[in-house]
Structure 1
Amino acid sequence: MPLLKYEQIADDLRSRVANGEFGPGDLLPSSRDLAEQWNVSRATVVKAYDVLRNDGVVVARQGAGFTVAETPVARPAGGRRADSARVSGAPYRRLGVPDRVVPPVQVREALGLGADQPALRRMRLVLMDDATPGTLVTAWFPLDIADAAPRLAKPGPITEGTTHYVRRETGRSPAEGVDVTTVRLATEEEARLLEVDRPAAVAVVLHVAYDQEGRPLVCEVGVTAAGVFEAIDRYPMR
């Protein structure tokens, strides 16, 4: 399905940010300029900027239009419903550098990998409002995705978000997500990164995103200390 005009504008701006034309804090083109450039109404451009704002790529500045977000945000694993917004995430720290290693068994099974087959691993620590550790997230990408989207292997953040970047590079986007939540004791490394004393209970969310053909795009494992884990689901009732 072809992208709508506002989606095309949003994707073009994402690409320009990703390619370094606009850096953190830079002022982006005005809605009037973009409306003339794309031959659309200013309302269409505003809708494009709303998409980017919900994705955490841009922020609105009173009286100054939109600028590129200076502080990247990330979400804990799971809860990636179609109407969820990345801007609802929190600041985070990248841990180490991306590497290719054999994942734990539950991740291998989720990605359909063989016993000795590696995947690309990216780790981040999502922070609480007071900058203390919140959730340790490890994202695992199948190598066909990692090879087609080489920036995944670089240590810096992907401002446009990995989902949009992967879609742009591979043409594949998430159509279904599966979240499985379990509880166990933290490992020594998890306890150190989450700054909790062992033994400590943690909630573990295993999130898998599948494309339109049912092929896995990514498996994320989010580990949160029991003392700060909270799951809220709001839904209509009859």
Structure 2
Amino acid sequence: MIDPHGDRAVYRQLADQLRADIASGEYGPGSLIPSEMTLMQRYGVARNTVRLAMTMLREEGLVVTHHGRGTYVRDALPIRRVASSRYRQALDAATTGAPLDWAEYRAESSFQEVPATDQVAGLLGIDTDTSVLERRILFLDGNLPQQLSMSYLPLDLVAGTPVADPRNEPWVGGTVAALASIGVTVTRVDELVRARMPRPEETRALSVAVGTPMLTITRTMFAGDRAVETAVDIVVPGDRAELEYRIDLAPVATTE
């Protein structure tokens, strides 16, 4: 199975073999990968070859290594759908009391008043250094971190209201419902989605494997013409979410 004289590097051939074994279920989620010595003997390769192959698989997010315990196939993680309809569903839930699956999550929150950066000020349509409420919220499903959000609201809009109290997180219905509770109706949401590698603090907070890309959503909410909230950014591990957007195109009226 391993050709030391082949055109493909030996460690890549070994990684291919182990990847195929994981895909076939020979090594299922949570399974212990054989030790370095076992793989060396089984495939007739050097220790460094095994280590390079395992590095490839770790960078692909297929395995995780726990020092002193060995290397394991990553557990299958639940995939959360992030749909464009979530804001309407959130508002409906807040007004009708209907349950939302993500409303059962718990949140670790920290709020503080800060001066708006150039980026935040530009998104909110305010002057740089204007006071805003910064909200850092880590959402968890059980013990599994799902997303990290850094968002900002004009302080003159929310100061002294329940929206500014981190003890109210996670708010049933999210920010749309929170703002509705103080008489602010969100009428439009703009989102910009990107992909990038995680920053060190995101790797720690979200417990992601090496090589896992992040989906980032820069969001701005409007009440009429006024921007009332911006998130820079909502960060979601790419292996735990899928984005679903529905775009309705009304027929274009024609005139004769």
**TM bin (shorter chain):** 0.5 to 0.7
Q: Which residue of 2 aligns with 1:173?
A: 185
Aligned partner of residue 241 in structure 2, secondary structure: coil
> Are 1:182 and 2:194 counterparts?
yes
What do the CA deviations read for 1:118-161 (whole angstroms, capped 9, x no partner)? 31022222234x641111122211112122x5222322125565
**Paired residues of 2:82 and 2:243 also in contact (CA < 8 A):** no
Aligned mates of 1:199, 1:117 — CA distance in 2: 37
Return the letter of the residue paired with 1:211: A
Measure how far apart 1:215 and its partner are.
0.3
Aligned mates of 1:76, 1:109 — CA distance in 2: 29
**Paired residues of 1:93 and 1:124 also in contact (CA < 8 A):** no
Return the letter of the residue paired with 1:203: L
Residues 146 and 104 of structure 1: CA distance in aligned 2, closer, same or farther (over 3 Å): same
**Paired residues of 1:91 and 1:126 also in contact (CA < 8 A):** no
What do the CA deviations read for 1:20-66 (whole angstroms, capped 9, x no partner)? xxxxxxxxxxxxxxxxxxxxxxxxxxxxxxxxxxxxxxxxxxxxxxx
Q: Which residue of 2 aligns with 1:95?
A: 108
Measure how far apart 1:176 and its partner are.
0.9
Aligned mates of 2:228, 2:83 — CA distance in 1: 14
What do the CA deviations read for 1:158-208 (whole angstroms, capped 9, x no partner)? 556543443343x32111111110112222111110012455421101111
| Identical counterparts, % of pairs | 22
**Paired residues of 1:175 and 1:210 also in contact (CA < 8 A):** yes
Residues 198 and 167 of structure 1: CA distance in aligned 2, closer, same or farther (over 3 Å): same
**Paired residues of 2:81 and 2:241 also in contact (CA < 8 A):** no
Aligned mates of 1:102, 1:127 — CA distance in 2: 28
Question: Mean Cα displacement is larger for which, 107-116 or 86-95?
Answer: 86-95
Equivalent of residue 237 in structure 2, options 217, 225, 229:
225
Aligned mates of 1:184, 1:143 — CA distance in 2: 30
> Are 1:211 and 2:216 counterparts?
no
Return the letter of the residue paired with 2:133: L
Q: Which residue of 1 aligns with 2:162?
A: 151
Aligned mates of 1:191, 1:225 — CA distance in 2: 9
Measure how far apart 1:113 and its partner are.
3.2
**Paired residues of 1:121 and 1:139 also in contact (CA < 8 A):** yes
Aligned length: 160
- Return the index of the structure with the highest Cα Rg: 2
Equivalent of residue 117 in structure 1, options 92, 105, 130:
130
Aligned partner of residue 202 in structure 2, secondary structure: helix
Return the letter of the residue paired with 1:139: S
Q: Which residue of 1 aligns with 2:214?
A: 202
**Paired residues of 2:212 and 2:239 also in contact (CA < 8 A):** no
Aligned mates of 1:160, 1:133 — CA distance in 2: 18
Measure how far apart 1:217 and its partner are.
1.2
Structure 2 gap segments, 5+ residues each: 1-79, 94-99, 252-256
Residues 95 and 126 of structure 1: CA distance in aligned 2, closer, same or farther (over 3 Å): closer
> Are 1:79 and 2:84 counterparts?
yes
Measure how far apart 1:76 and its partner are.
9.3
Measure how far apart 1:209 and its partner are.
1.0
TM-score computed with the length of structure 1 as normaliser: 0.55
